[in-house]
Chains A and B, each alone.
Chain A
């Protein structure tokens, strides 16, 4: 109990620092790269003086550190602000200007937009994990058990092919063949669960090689450990050793893969795939926000993504420590 308390307190403190640094980095980069959100908010025909005045009123001309300090203060109170560009109804907007356009009530709450989008992304990510594991676990285990033989080579070749497929290309090809030509599955937008299958397959193809190699290497590595021979000498059958000991010990690197690599890969790819499929999750929200320089949304989603990675890492490390008490994080 004390171990868990000490572990979580230490890791949460470290995580907070990481999140703060990432937030500062994103915040600064957004304000350094070209692209003034005021132009997008006000429309192309706005006079330079009005654009400048609006930017000043919104605090966008203050030093970056001053803006960041103000932002952190808001977040500490649970306020992630309101979108620069999206209306209260959630619609993505173009240039507009009117007397009360910048009234906060006219703009969508960032948390509200994210809360609407998150369930879609969770569904897609969850389904992608299920598909990826359904494919990777049997192939990876078989490859690990037959290390150096054809199942191992098959797993390697399959992983290499999957890794080599650019996800955007695969997405376009699958939509064209499976949805537009064959009509087997719907795609583009979201009207029901079936709309998540095709994008989840694309994400699973990207995730599966990471799982397959991790499982195969871990299982074959464990098989070569002395405890397997010792167990068999003591009378345990090979199948019992594999099912009850090798698989359990192979879980630790798989957990790390799931936690660090897979979530990282997924977060990156999810954004692109949601955009291509026009899938109304956090990724589509984020990419449109980037195009429109919608700083509050970009900042909040970046922070959210960072928090997810940090939390997953903490949980994975805790789970690994629980499985094998020799590990120290």
Chain B
């Protein structure tokens, strides 16, 4: 017979053993090279890459799906394409772009990769009905020349095929079999890249090394992609060894890593600029002179001082990581006199008669938005603008910034960033400033539309570059539908033992050549 005391003693011992076992568990698991990546963004419940515009899932997809080409987007270098699923490519004529494909590649489900997969993917993703269609320049037809050659044709749709040049490094290539079966496509991601999808449990999605990867089996055996919304938790998890990579740290957190021998910080210019968007379809910002006056009221030097390492000074509407970037000479500078001149010319001397303006910003999504929002509010008030700053948490902010069904949006100015995964500048320019979208600004300016259409229609990259730098950006600086405040910098932290990881400036991390030593 067991006495009560013996029973309690046994229970205590069992709990202690369970506790010790659970402590010992993670250490034992080290034999398998597992990288736990603490992500700031969640994935969606739908694994079809054309069904979303979510940053977290785009980053996740980069582990699973390959692209026709690869673009490293390195800081200070002209963006160049490298082979990935395509081994070579060339413009046949203004409306035809040819890709020669890699032989011997298999999808994770075992299917052979070929031209039919590129055709199915391109025609499916560019369909304007798809939710992520705004990432792509427009419809495209794909001709299968042979098993390993495709030709993209834009002849029927009135724009040049070169618009797909950089998109080729961004569009995830799907299996034609999956595209034909949407239910399967949504159920699990099936690509050709270095890691294959295993399962999702709660907020953790598991990936395993792809033994048949054409670039060689990765040395990392497993990736756990964990959604951890709080930046402090991500940092502390990195410091105590629970995570091997922590995404999107705050600048101060990044600075604290400097003295930590077990962690390596990574700082990189992103593809994202931070904008002060004006509601151009609403008074008083329907007058370009008032928009320009507001730009001249803002001393960006003060904002940059506040941001420290988290911002890079640029004077353009796109990030330096994008094709076409150039600091524009005519970009609005801090000039109170010019501000007053423009206000007087528009009929509001010293800001008198201007309506109260609401400026919407977020807290907890980007670093220091509230703080520099207060600075901008004060600087504009100094010039006679009556600005009220509205600080919203991310969900409310996301609702407030976009124009509603009636075309109007809340307030008069919004703080928003725009991060996209390719050097392609149209991913930023058209959604924000072409009247067909103008998701936030509501700008409807035929001159801006005309130059944006002209640059998209350029026959060669050289011609396009010239139009962007000599026509598009100077015109936008003059019209100022938005004011780009700075280019954003990303901070990541990683365990020192993780070597060979490559951090793309739009968020994804390449671990195909990485090792955990």
Contact = CB atoms under 8 A, between A and B. Distances in A.
A binds B: yes
A293 B395 contact: yes
Nearest to A175: B236
Interface stretch (A2-10, A201-209, A259-267, A273-281): A273-281
Q: Is the interface of A mostly helix, strand, loop or mixed?
A: loop
A102 to B, nearest CB: 11
Contacts of B51: 96-98, 101
Given A91-B203, A94-B54, A276-B230, A39 B402 contact: yes
A91 B227 contact: yes
A195 B396 CA distance: 33
Contacts of B405: 48-49, 51-52
A67 interface: no
A189 B237 contact: yes
B202 A116 contact: yes
Nearest to A101: B46
Nearest to B242: A188
A39 B45 contact: no
Nearest to B23: A194
Contacts of A91: 42-43, 45, 200, 202-203, 205, 227
B233 A96 contact: no
A64 to B, nearest CB: 18
Interface stretch (B13-21, B62-70, B303-311, B337-345): B13-21
A94 B131 contact: no
A184 to B, nearest CB: 10
Given A192-B18, A288-B229, A88 B240 contact: no
B236 A188 contact: yes
Interface stretch (A12-20, A28-36, A238-246): A28-36
A32 to B, nearest CB: 12
B497 interface: no
A176 B233 CA distance: 10
A253 interface: no
B21 A192 contact: yes
B403 A87 contact: no
Interface residues of A, number: 60
Interface string B1-30: 000000000000001001101110110000
B57 A94 contact: yes
B398 A94 contact: no
A327 B236 CA distance: 50
Interface in B44-77: 44-46, 48, 51-57
A90 interface: yes
B158 interface: no
Most buried by B among A100, A278, A292: A278
A56 to B, nearest CB: 11
B232 A34 contact: no
A107 interface: yes
A33 B396 contact: yes
Contact of A45 (B22, B394, B439): B439
Contacts of B228: 278
Given A34-B392, A96-B44, A192 B23 contact: yes
Contacts of B232: 172, 276
Contacts of A187: 236, 240, 242
A293 B392 CA distance: 14
Contacts of A40: 395, 398
A42 B51 CA distance: 9
A81 B226 CA distance: 26
A95 B398 CA distance: 11
Nearest to A37: B395
B201 interface: yes
B439 A98 contact: no
B202 A90 contact: yes
Q: Is the interface of B mostly helix, strand, loop or mixed?
A: mixed
Contacts of A11: none
B403 A191 contact: no
Interface residues of B, number: 63
Interface in B226-263: 226-230, 232-233, 236-237, 239-240, 242-243
Interface in A285-318: 288, 291-293
Given A91-B205, A94-B41, A193-B18, A186 B23 contact: yes
Contacts of A94: 41-44, 52, 54-57
Contacts of B361: none
B401 to A, nearest CB: 8
Nearest to B42: A92
A44 interface: yes
A179 interface: yes
B22 A87 contact: no
Contact of B26 (A87, A191, A291): A191
A192 B403 CA distance: 47
A76 interface: no
Contacts of B453: none
B399 interface: yes
Contacts of A176: 236, 239
A126 interface: no
A293 B226 CA distance: 21
B404 to A, nearest CB: 5
A97 B205 CA distance: 20
B42 A278 contact: no
A96 to B, nearest CB: 4
B240 A186 contact: yes
Nearest to B48: A98
Contact of B237 (A95, A106, A107, A278): A278
A46 B131 contact: yes
Nearest to A277: B233
Interface string A146-157: 000000000000
A95 B200 contact: no
Contacts of B281: none
A94 B49 CA distance: 13
B421 to A, nearest CB: 14
A51 B405 CA distance: 8
A183 interface: yes
Contacts of A101: 45-46, 51
A134 interface: no
A180 B21 CA distance: 20
B403 to A, nearest CB: 6
Nearest to B410: A34
A192 B25 CA distance: 8
B134 interface: yes
A147 B15 CA distance: 37
Contact of A44 (B21, B44, B202, B398): B398
Given A187-B242, A189-B242, 8 more contacts: A40-B398, A43-B131, A46-B131, A87-B46, A93-B42, A94-B56, A188-B242, A278-B237
19 contacts: A34-B399, A34-B400, A39-B398, A40-B395, A40-B398, A45-B134, A86-B45, A90-B201, A91-B200, A93-B43, A93-B54, A96-B57, A98-B131, A100-B182, A100-B183, A187-B240, A188-B242, A193-B18, A194-B23
User: When A and B form their complex, which 10 residue pairs have the shortest distance between CB atoms, in order from nearest?
Assistant: A192-B22, A87-B45, A94-B54, A96-B44, A180-B239, A48-B405, A188-B237, A34-B396, A96-B52, A97-B131
Interface of B: 15, 18-19, 21-23, 25-26, 41-46, 48, 51-57, 131-132, 134, 182-183, 186, 199-203, 205, 226-230, 232-233, 236-237, 239-240, 242-243, 392-396, 398-400, 402-407, 431, 439
